[in-house]
Amino acid sequence: MSDYVPPKVWTWNKSNGGQFANINRPIAGPTHDKDLPVGRHPLQLYSLGTPNGVKVTIMLEELLALGHNGAEYDAWLINIGNGDQFGSGFVAVNPNSKIPALVDRSGSTPIRVFESGAILLYLAEKFGAFVPTEASARAECLSWLFWQMGSAPYLGGGFGHFYAYAPEKIEYAIDRFAMEVKRQLDVLERRLAESEYIAGSIYTIADMAIFPWYGALAKGVLYGAAEFLSVQDYKNVHRWADAIVERSAVKRGRMVNRVYGEPSSQLHERHDASDFDTKTQDKLAAGR
């Protein structure tokens, strides 16, 4: 049992935070001046291939697969481990200094959009795709979209942090968040027992938001925790995740801004559809 007693007033100890100590701080705002690059497409994405970043690249690739040419985009890599998210240009797009962030330059005045759920909804409304228009179906879709936004911090910043990243294993913290993550998986399991997709019979932004977190968790990708959480028990979640992962646009979206895994699965930046065939890390390495 810990003998820690919180002080009357908290003060920042820079040595705390484990492997994230160099980028975590209790204040906002930029740490350095750095402009963001701008490519030739209407949409400029500044991101990293984390679950939150993957939501948006999946959405963009799905829109392009439907023939929405206005969804062409440049995806620029923001290396959060190096503190790129604290550059002045990025902070101007997202004052919260989190990926992903999007700038829509298709009109006379650039529009910034930050927070992954907001970006998904913005794109869905802009192109009229992947969100229902009928009131009841739309409400269901948005309810599940915001379920993800509220639930995933318990999975990532809660369970993932204390199980995989914290400098010491704290039984209480791991048990607390493991219990909550399994409850969330059971919520999805029960929903998917009665519904083909999260929001109903059609694939929507709710699936795109939830899949990179909970689909990846069920398939054993996140935190090396598949056995610990007995993810094999969630049969309906697996059925749903297996269907989504086979979508061509999902396969492409999962590659964009990815900096881990097989070199053939990493497309650090995406500026053209042909980049998937010519500029993955294995191709770049072979061309040196």
pLDDT in tens, 256-274: 999 999 999 999 999 999 9
For residue 115, what pLDDT is reported? 97
For residue 18, what pLDDT is reported? 63
The answer to whether the beta carbons of residues 205 and 58 sit under 8 Å apart is no
The answer to whether the beta carbons of residues 123 and 67 sit under 8 Å apart is no
Q: What is the DSSP letter of 50?
A: S
The pTM of the whole model exceeds 0.85: yes
The answer to whether the beta carbons of residues 63 and 41 sit under 8 Å apart is no
For residue 84, what pLDDT is reported? 96
Sheet holding 101-104, edge to edge: 73-77, 43-47, 101-104, 111-114
What values do phi and psi take at 87, rounded to 5?
Answer: -70, 150
| pLDDT-flagged residues of the chain (< 70) | 1, 15-22, 288
Q: What is the DSSP letter of 172?
A: H
For residue 25, what pLDDT is reported? 87
Q: Is 220 exposed, middle or buried (0-12, 13-18, 19+ CB in 10 A)?
A: middle
For residue 4, what pLDDT is reported? 86
Report which secondary-structure segment, H or E, holds 101. Answer: strand 101-104
